[in-house]
Structures are given as C-alpha cells and as structure tokens.
Amino acid sequence: MRALLAFLLMLASAPVLAQSALPPAPYADRQIDDPALEKKARALMETIRCLTCQSQSIADSNASMAGDMRSEIRQRIMAGEQPEHIRAWLIERYGDWVSYEPTAAPILWPLWGAPVVLLLLGLLLLRGRIRKGKRP
Amino acid sequence: MRKMLIWLPLVLFLGFFGLFASGLLKPDDRLITSKMVGKPLPDFTLPPAASDRPALASSQLATGKPRLLNIFASWCVPCAAEAPQLMALQKAGVEIDAIAIRDARTDVDRFLGRYGNPYARIGLDARSAVQIALGSSGVPETFVIDGEGRIAYQHIGDIRADDVPMILDRLRNAQ
Amino acid sequence: MIAEAGLAALWLAGALALLQLALVTLGLAGSKSELLGAVRSVAVSQGVLTGLAFLLLILLFLRSDMSVMLVVTNSHSMKPWLYKFAGTWGNHEGSMLLWVTVMGLAGSAVALFERALKRETHMATLGAQAAISLGFYVFLLFSSNPFARIDPPPPDGQGLNPLLQDPGLAFHPPTLYLGYVGLSVAFSFAVGALLTRQVDAAFARAMRPWVLAAWVMLTLGIVAGSYWAYYELGWGGWWFWDPVENASLMPWLAATALLHSVTVLATRDALRAWTVMLAVIAFSMSMVGTFLVRSGILTSVHAFAVDPERGSFILALLAIYIGGAFALFGWRIGAVREGAPFELVSRETMLVVNNLLLSVILGLVLIGTLYPLLTEAFGLKVSVGAPYFDRIAGPIALLLLIAMAAGPLTRWRRDRFGLVAGRMLVPGIVALVTLALVVALAWGRIGILPLLGLVVAIGVGVGSLAPLWKRNLRRTPLFTWGMVIAHLGCAVSLGGMASDSAFTVEKLVAARPGDTIETADWTLYFDKIMPIAGDNWTALQADMTASRGGGKAIAIHPQSRFFASPPTTTTEAALMTRWNGQLYVVLGQETDDGRWQIRIWWKPFVTFIWLGGIMIALGGVLALIGRERRGWLLKWRARAAA
C-alpha cells in the first residue's frame, strides 16, 4: 500500500514541473525567529490541506501555492494573529475541506460522537460476558 | 437482543456498500470551489503586472457593469490554451481584468505578446495573497464580478470554446 | 511465448479453483464424500500454477519484454535489475497477480500442512478459499490481464516512478500482501467452521498459527512501508493517516484483536461467535482497503485503477464475499453457543478489554477514513486527517497499552484485584517517576499526548517484562518469550513515537557552501555542491559533514535526484543514525541569491518506532514456533519411528 501511496504522492507533486520559476515567498521556508511563534505556525500549517496537491498538509508540500500559504501564515502569526482566527479565515474561503482538523460544524458532530458511541456499544456487548454478583 | 446483534454486521456492511456504490457512481469533480461566491470581493491593491496595462485594485471592479476577473500565470500551460476564448469574450464586448500569479513582468509581457492580450488591467500577485483571499485554488480560474463588486460565479480550469456561451449567460445574469 | 504460458497458467489455476469449489460442494452437500479425496491435490496444483504465472511475469520484467503492455507501461530497459524485478508488483495488474498468487499458495499450504482441523471443516475451508480465489481470478483475467500484449512493440518502456525505485519496493509490497492476503485463510477457516458448525477450542488451536503467520507478515509490511515513506518522501514524517495507510492499518487492528480472541477460544472455549466475526472482519478489511485504494473514490490523484469499471468489479466481489460471510454468520451462528461468562478480574476479561479497545480504534479509523465520502454524498467536502486520528485514537491506544501490560499479569479464570494491582506496583512507580521527571524537565514544551505517551511507554515497557519476573528464564516457554517481546515492542514503538513528536528539533536554513549550521547540539558544515551520476539518474549532491559536541565529523550527502524516464525529481534525504536518534537532512531548492534551502531534523529515538515494530513481529515468530514446535517434534518423531 505504501508503494501506492508513494505513487500517489508522485502524481501529486508532478505539477512541480509546471510551477513558476519565481523564488519562494519570504517565509515559505524560513522559520520565525521566535521559537514559540514558529511552533504555533507550524502546528497550524500541519493541519491546513494543500490545495494543489490534495492529500498533503501545506507543511509537507513542495507546491508553490503551499509555500505562499506558509509564508502568509507565518507573517500573520508574526503580526500577532491567533492560529484559530487564520484557520477560520481560510475556511471562509475554501470551506471545511481546507482544515485537516475537523471543525465543530454540525455535519461533523457524528465524527466527534463516534468514540463515545462505539465505547458504549462495546461495553454493552461486554456486559453479557462478565459474571455479575459477588465473588465467592 | 442477541438475534438483532447477529445481523448487525450484515446491516452495517450494507450501509458501507451503499456508501461505496454512491462514491463510485457519482463522478467526483475534486474541485475545491471558492466559498466567496456571492460575497463582495476582498479588498486588494496590486502593482501592474505588464508594461502596457495599468495596475489593479478591488475598487476598480465595481463599475456598475459585470466583468470578468481572470486568474492566470505566464508559466501555466492551460492559461495559454484558454487565451483564444478570452480573446473571443473580449471581442464580444466583455471587460476582462486579470491577476497574474507568481509572475514577473517580462514573462507576462512575453506571454501576452504570444497569446494575445484581452485584459483591461492586470495586477501582479507575486505571493498568491490575493488568490488565497479570493478562495481560488489554482490557475487558470475566472470569476464573474457583478456591478457592485460582488463575486457572482467562479469558473475553475481553462475556459473551453463551448464554455463561452455559458460565461456570457453568467455575465448577463449578473446584471 | 512466456506471456501466453503465464496467461494459460492463470486460466488453468482459475479452472482448478472452480473444480475445487465444485468438489467440496458436491462432497459435503451432495454427500459424495469420495470426491473430497481429490480436493487437496487440486488446491496444491492451483497454488503451483499461480506461483508459475507470477514467476513468468517476473521473467518478462527481467527480460524487459517490450511486447507486453504491462512491461511497457511500468519498466524501462535501462533500469537496474532490482527495480525491473520489484517493478513486477509496482503496478495494478502485477500487484493483483501477487494477490492471487499469495491466495493460491496459502490455499496450498492449508491443504498440505493443516492437520489439526476436523476433515469436514478442513474441506469446507478449502472450498471457501477456492471460492474467494475464483472471484479474484475472474477479476484478473477479465479486467486486469497482466500478460496482455502490445503490437507493435515500442522501442522501450515508459519507466517506473522514481519514488518506487528503491529497495523498499522489493520488500514492502510482498510482505504486506503476504499479511493482507494471508488473512484470507482465517476468513476461510471461519466460513468453513460456520458451514460445519464446528466452532470450538480445537478449531481455534488450528486457526491460531495461520493468523499468527499472516499477522507477522502484515506487521513487517507496515513497518517497512512506514520506514520507506519516512526516508524516501523527505518530510520527516513516518505516518500521515492517509487513506491508503489506514487501509493497511485496519486489517492489522482486526488481526491483532483476532490473535488475542483466538487465544481465549483455544484456552477457555469461549468468545466463539466473536472470534468467527473477527476472522471474517480481518480479511474483509483487506478487501475494503484494496477497494478504497484502487477505486480512487477517496483520493483523487490515485495511480491504480482510477477506473470505475475495476472499482465496480472489486465492489461486486466485496458484496459477494463480505455480504455472503456476514449472512452466513447471521444464519449459522445462532446454533453456536457461547461459553460461560467470565470473572471480572481474570485474563479472559483483560483480553476482552483488549478486543474491545482494538475494535473501537478500528471503528474510528474506518469512520474517519470514510467520513469525507459520506459528507460528499450530501454535497459537503470535509477533510479528516492526523489531528482527528491522533486526538481520538491516541488516548484509546494508551488505555489499550495499559491493559496490555496488566493482561499477562492476571491469571486465567479468576484473580484478585489486589494481587493484580500488586504486580503492577513496580511498573506503576516507574511510570510515576517518569511522569515527575518529564514534568520537571520539559513541562510546557511538550504536548499532553506525547507526555502521556512517554510515561505509558516506560511504565508499560517495565510492565511487559514483569511476566518474566522470578521465573527460570531457561524454562520459560518460547511463546511466553514471544508475548513478552511483542508487548515490549509495542512500548518501545510508542516511546519512539512520543519522543519524536515531543523532542524533534526542526531547522530550515538557506546556506551557501562554506557555511556552518548549528542545531540541537549538532554542527553541520556545508562544504560544496556537486553533480553526480547514478545508474539511471543524475543528482545534485551536497557534501556536508556533521559533528556533535566536538566529536568526529562525519560526511553526509543529501541529494536532489533527476530521473529521465519518467522525468521526475526526488529528494534523497541523508540520514545519520545514532543510538539516541537520527539526524535527517534534506537538500531543497536553490534560492535566487545562490543559497540552498536545507531542512534539518534531529529526531531523538525515532528509530525506536520501527525497532519496536520489528520486535512485535519477532515476538509473533517466537510465539508461532513455540506453539507449533511440539506438534512438529511429535510429527518428526512419528516419521522417524516409521
């Protein structure tokens, strides 16, 4: 399966050949000097989905648009903007799809409820298997 | 209770089967459409991208008359492919402005010299910032902007010859 | 001629599968039991024929026979021989041929070596195996023929994707498929036992080695794939929660649960229905994974069979086999009685908890992977990725590991809570000390999940050694060693994951030759950049040295490689492994002012992830040998005596 994944990623990165020759945006591959801010930015970038390559986060992508988004995010973080505000701004433009981190949108409630439901279902099944009553 | 549980796996599987079948039947476009459609254009001011066309700012797009905003780049092959259709639209009286993504002025000049220049204004978006603000996910894309500067429609990918009447319709509807 | 011979072997194997199914059906249902005598030899011949077809396809690739379509589209005469060889399964048709080959060989192995099963169930199992194989033969022959010719033959092939041109391709897909498809044996066992209504402890003991063997292969396959992606993709990540990866994780989770429930069935003759269900689910997950990957319904840009026709074909197979097995389960399992309930504090209950937690994780991975498909049916696009899986499956996995440490310290049938707690005392204290240390040293710098991961890894690591405590190590049975090593492997792997996410230091720099870069105790000197040429590629290679704490400088060479056929660029990361971590250096693009983008990671103890994985597989091998050795010895003695 990994082989397939690798192949997929190759296809995803193929458009690299057709990308602009312009140098990367200033903060595309440059870390913020303040490590705390960089950590914030990095955490956000890992949860933003790359638009031109579809199954990568922008943190991992070599696509130039992902680089521009990284630069945009780093610059906004440096300007003091909160990561969740930037995420909301991106979702306003691209929809929930752009965030790898599922949002609190109603359509995603079942996803957050799933662990509870599954655990309860499991415990229900388990109940019949365990002997009730006191230990002799 | 146990009787129901016994058939639960089959029922769940049938649910998954339905899901898979619907996934197979529905042709997936994989397109990420802009959620800005229906909203006013974000504010921007861009420097000029070509030597013989003025720069572009969002305020200049609300002219009382619908226009096209084309997102393109000189390094993008489909953009060259859609150039004849844009020329045709311009000949039909459509006003077209453009944003060149991650580009350099000499490259844009060369591109326009080779494939024609249907644009009234061209702004240079060197860091894709305006592209991201528009919710655009690639090049080429074409937005229909209504007279009040609102985004009325987004066309993703190159405009083919048979898309031209549809684009003209969209412009008319945006009146 | 070779291609035609391969195709003929495949057709013949398909015909034999049909014959095998017919013999079993007539023999068991039509009570013509004399027919059953031929089943085993038919199963063996079928396996031999699939093996032959596969060898012939390998031969075509090695000879670069450009009159065969598959070779043209996936190979090139200038490619090194290893990648011609491994390229056989680096594509849709070849990997499906590998699939039926593993299935055929597994069927042969069951026909030849399975002795513990009652004859009726054995035959029904072989019938089920033939039935599954048949569907995949039809798939291969009618929609994915690997031996199709091309006329006229082109002068040369189109080449193999450079990312796949790596020794990883020779190892990862075959092991993964042995595991994936090896689970079909457990599926067939379950179907066979449902048909003959013989679900009991003897059945579990017969099934256990097959499950173990498939599980060991699956574990190795996933570990290899993870490491391969880690060094080849150059992003420093080792698991991305991509649908394709989840497709390999789900059968593993089901097989791990099965491995433990089968032990309960073998020891206590309980959990019958559940074990049968898991055996069906494990292979069903393999098939679902194959469907998801090859139909392209989840990831747009997928390479293989983004062909709706093939997708529908596999979906039809899913409906027949999974739907059929679940229906059979509903129809027949009512007659199978569950054993007596368990005591609350007992090994059985711990194993049931293990099964419960593994199943919940499996369910969550399945739901998370398919959720985007579900919302898309309502016209909404969403993404479910690492943040969801980490946050949801992570805590449950930690609970699971704690149960894993407590399980072997709990006695079968009945134990006392106080006694179990007493045995957990030392690991518990170690975990608390770790917690105190990590909080004191790194509080605020690391996330809560990595923190808990470290604490659990160390506590559980100690706890998993506890079953050996006060025991005569030379007399400890081999399967106990296997369990201890596998459980320790889980803790080691978790430790690696937690350490990687807690302590990894990343540095991005733009450097010129002659520059010195400092990061995380390491000093890197960037000497020069040189073009070099390989077998079928050229590369820009950075000559760098790395040293730590004034120690000896060691040369490292990250590259950016260019392949001509097909034209692609790949990054070849330079990895330097130390006992306490890995230095990972990637050469990026040149910037406009003549500097080079360089990405450097120092990843403390990251190698423990795969080391732990190998320990898990090794534990499985030891358990397999330990359980089976007695049988082999007896058989060997009986033969020697005869």
Q: What is the DSSP string of C251-320?
A: HHHHHHHHHHHHHHHHHHS--HHHHHHHHHHHHHHHHHHHHHHHH-SS-TT-SS---HHHHHHHHHHHII
What sign for the dihedral angle of Cα C311, C312, C315, C320?
A: negative
Left if phi > 0, otherwise alpha if psi is -120 to 50, otherwise beta: which for C296?
Answer: left
Given this model, what pLDDT does residue C222 score?
95
Q: Does C130 lie in the same domain as C107?
A: yes
DSSP summary character for residue C323: I
Q: Does C158 lie in the same domain as C119?
A: yes
- Does A1 contact C164 at a Cβ distance shorter than 8 Å? no
Mean pLDDT of C141-146: 92
- Does A108 contact C359 at a Cβ distance shorter than 8 Å? no
CA distance linking residue C381 with residue C378, whole number of Å: 9
- Does C380 contact A96 at a Cβ distance shorter than 8 Å? yes
Nearest to C312 among B3, B6, B24 (CB): B24
- Does C589 contact A9 at a Cβ distance shorter than 8 Å? no
Given this model, what pLDDT does residue C160 score?
83
CA distance linking residue B40 with residue B36, whole number of Å: 8
C-beta of residue A83 within 8 angstroms of C-beta of residue A35: no
**C358, amino acid identity:** L
Query: Using CB atoms and an 8 Å cut-off, which of residues 145-164 of chain B contact chain A?
Result: none
What is the architecture, at CATH level 2, of domain B45-173?
3-Layer(aba) Sandwich (3.40)
Q: Show residues of chain B in contact with A19, CB under 8 Å.
A: 75, 102
**B128, amino acid identity:** S
Mean pLDDT of C115-143: 94
How far does the CA of residue A4 sit from the closest CA of chain B (Å)? 19
Q: Tell me what ipTM this predicted complex has.
A: 0.88
Q: Does C118 lie in the same domain as C32?
A: yes
Residue C250: CB atoms within 10 A of its CB come to: 24
- Does C295 contact B26 at a Cβ distance shorter than 8 Å? no
| pLDDT category of residue C463 using cuts at 50, 70 and 90 | very high
Lowest mean pLDDT among A15-24, B62-71, C190-199: A15-24
**C568-572 vs C581-590, strand pairing mode:** unpaired
CA distance linking residue C24 with residue C35, whole number of Å: 8
The stretches in chain B having pLDDT less than 50 are none
Given this model, what pLDDT does residue C437 score?
92
Residue A131 scores a pLDDT above 70: yes
Q: C567-615: per-residue pLDDT in tens?
A: 778 889 999 999 999 999 999 888 878 888 899 999 999 999 999 999 9
- Does C356 contact A114 at a Cβ distance shorter than 8 Å? no
- Does A9 contact C173 at a Cβ distance shorter than 8 Å? no
C-beta of residue C251 within 8 angstroms of C-beta of residue C211: no
Asked if the structure places residue C3 within a domain, the reply is yes
CA dihedral C202, C205, C208, C209 (to 10 degrees): -120
- Does B101 contact A97 at a Cβ distance shorter than 8 Å? no
Q: What secondary structure does DSSP assign to A57-98, as a single string?
A: BTTT---HHHHHHHHHHHHHHHTT--HHHHHHHHHHHH-GGG
- Does A3 contact C232 at a Cβ distance shorter than 8 Å? no
H helices within C407-549, ranges in order? 417-423, 425-442, 448-465, 478-503
Q: Show residues of chain A in contact with C597, CB under 8 Å.
A: 24, 29
Residue with tokens 């010299």: B113
Q: Closest Cα partner for C285 from C366, C178, C176?
A: C366
- Does A100 contact C387 at a Cβ distance shorter than 8 Å? yes
Residue A7 scores a pLDDT above 60: no
Q: Show residues of chain C in contact with B21, CB under 8 Å.
A: 315
- CA-nearest residue of chain C to B4? C330
How far does the CA of residue B172 sit from the closest CA of chain A (Å)? 25
Q: Show residues of chain B in contact with C311, CB under 8 Å.
A: 24
How open is the CA angle C527-C233-A54, to the nearest 5 degrees? 130
Domain boundary among C142, C165, C188: C165
Highest mean pLDDT pick, A50-54, B1-5, C156-160, C500-504:
C500-504
Domains of chain A, first to last: 23-107 (1.10.8.640)
Given this model, what pLDDT does residue B28 score?
61
Residue C329 scores a pLDDT above 70: yes
Query: Using CB atoms and an 8 Å cut-off, which of residues 44-73 of chain C contact chain A?
Result: none
Highest mean pLDDT pick, A6-10, A24-28, C467-471:
C467-471
Q: What secondary structure does DSSP assign to C27-73, as a single string?
A: HHHS--GGGGGGHHHHHHHHHHHHHHHHHHHHHHHHTT-TTBHHHHH
C301 touches chain A (CB under 8 A): yes
Q: C37-56: per-residue pLDDT in tens?
A: 899 999 999 999 999 999 99
Residue with tokens 């990862």: C172
Q: Does C430 lie in the same domain as C472?
A: yes
Residue with tokens 């003695």: C637
CA distance linking residue C489 with residue C170, whole number of Å: 25
Given this model, what pLDDT does residue A1 score?
42
Given this model, what pLDDT does residue A87 score?
95
Longest dimension (CA), chain B: 79
Residue C150: CB atoms within 10 A of its CB come to: 14
B129 touches chain A (CB under 8 A): yes
Asked if the structure places residue C298 within a domain, the reply is no
How far does the CA of residue C300 sit from the closest CA of chain B (Å)? 6
Residue C114 scores a pLDDT above 60: yes
| pLDDT category of residue A13 using cuts at 50, 70 and 90 | very low
Q: Show residues of chain A in contact with B137, CB under 8 Å.
A: 51-52, 65, 94
- Does B128 contact A65 at a Cβ distance shorter than 8 Å? yes
Residue with tokens 């910037």: C591
CA distance linking residue A50 with residue B128, whole number of Å: 14
Residue A24 phi/psi, 5-degree rounding, is -60, 155
| Helix, strand or coil, per DSSP, at residue C193 | helix
Q: Does C527 lie in the same domain as C448?
A: no
- CA-nearest residue of chain A to C246? A1
User: Who's near B166: CB < 8 A, 6+ residues apart?
Assistant: none
Mean pLDDT of C108-125: 92
- What tokens does C146 get? 């690997």
User: Who's near B25: CB < 8 A, 6+ residues apart?
Assistant: none
CA distance linking residue C312 with residue C320, whole number of Å: 12
CA dihedral C377, C378, C384, C388 (to 10 degrees): -130
Asked if the structure places residue C242 within a domain, the reply is no
**Containing H/E element for C636?**
helix C608-641
**Containing H/E element for C555?**
strand C554-556
Start-to-end CA distance of chain B, whole Å, equals 63
Given this model, what pLDDT does residue A3 score?
44
**B96-101 vs B67-72, strand pairing mode:** parallel
- CA-nearest residue of chain A to B101? A20
**Is cis: bond before B66, omega within 30 of 0?**
no
Q: Does C572 lie in the same domain as C495?
A: no
Mean pLDDT of C356-367: 96
Q: Does C632 lie in the same domain as C561?
A: no
Asked if the structure places residue C477 within a domain, the reply is yes
- Using alpha carbons, list the distances in angstroms from residue C240 to C244, C259, C398: 10, 26, 19
**A129, amino acid identity:** R
Domain ranges of chain B: 45-173
Residues found in chain C: 642
C447 touches chain A (CB under 8 A): no
Given this model, what pLDDT does residue A4 score?
44
Nearest to B24 among C284, C295, C381 (CB): C295
C595 touches chain A (CB under 8 A): no
CA distance linking residue B130 with residue B127, whole number of Å: 8
Q: A57-66: per-residue pLDDT in tens?
A: 898 887 888 9
**B151-156 vs B141-145, strand pairing mode:** antiparallel
- What tokens does C590 get? 């040149």
Range of the domain at C590: 505-604
Q: Does C6 lie in the same domain as C77?
A: yes
Residue C151 phi/psi, 5-degree rounding, is -135, 125
Q: Show residues of chain C in contact with B23, CB under 8 Å.
A: 295, 297-298, 373, 376-377
Q: Show residues of chain A in contact with B128, CB under 8 Å.
A: 25, 64-65, 68-69, 72
- What tokens does A35 get? 């490590």
Q: Does C145 lie in the same domain as C4?
A: yes
CA distance linking residue C576 with residue C583, whole number of Å: 5
Q: What percent of chain C has pLDDT over 70?
A: 98
Q: B80-99: per-residue pLDDT in tens?
A: 999 999 999 999 999 999 99
- Does A72 contact B129 at a Cβ distance shorter than 8 Å? yes
CA dihedral C96, C101, C106, C107 (to 10 degrees): 100
- Does A111 contact C388 at a Cβ distance shorter than 8 Å? yes
Query: Using CB atoms and an 8 Å cut-off, which of residues 165-184 of chain C contact chain A?
Result: 168-169, 172-173, 176
C-beta of residue C279 within 8 angstroms of C-beta of residue C204: no
C233 touches chain A (CB under 8 A): yes
CA distance linking residue C87 with residue C170, whole number of Å: 8
Domain boundary among C121, C146, C165: C165
Query: Residue C545 forms beta bridges with which residues?
Result: C525, C555
- Does B34 contact A98 at a Cβ distance shorter than 8 Å? no
Given this model, what pLDDT does residue B100 score?
94
Given this model, what pLDDT does residue C47 score?
96
Q: Does C487 lie in the same domain as C575?
A: no
Mean pLDDT of C145-163: 88
C-beta of residue B116 within 8 angstroms of C-beta of residue B79: no
Q: C416-441: per-residue pLDDT in tens?
A: 999 999 999 999 999 999 999 998 98
Nearest to C323 among B13, B19, B30 (CB): B13
Spatial strand order of the sheet with B67-72 comes to B122-125, B96-101, B67-72, B141-145, B151-156
- What tokens does C328 get? 């059979």
Looking at the structure of chain C, the number of domains it has is 3
Q: In the complex, which subunits touch C with 3 or more CB pairs below 8 angstroms?
A: A, B
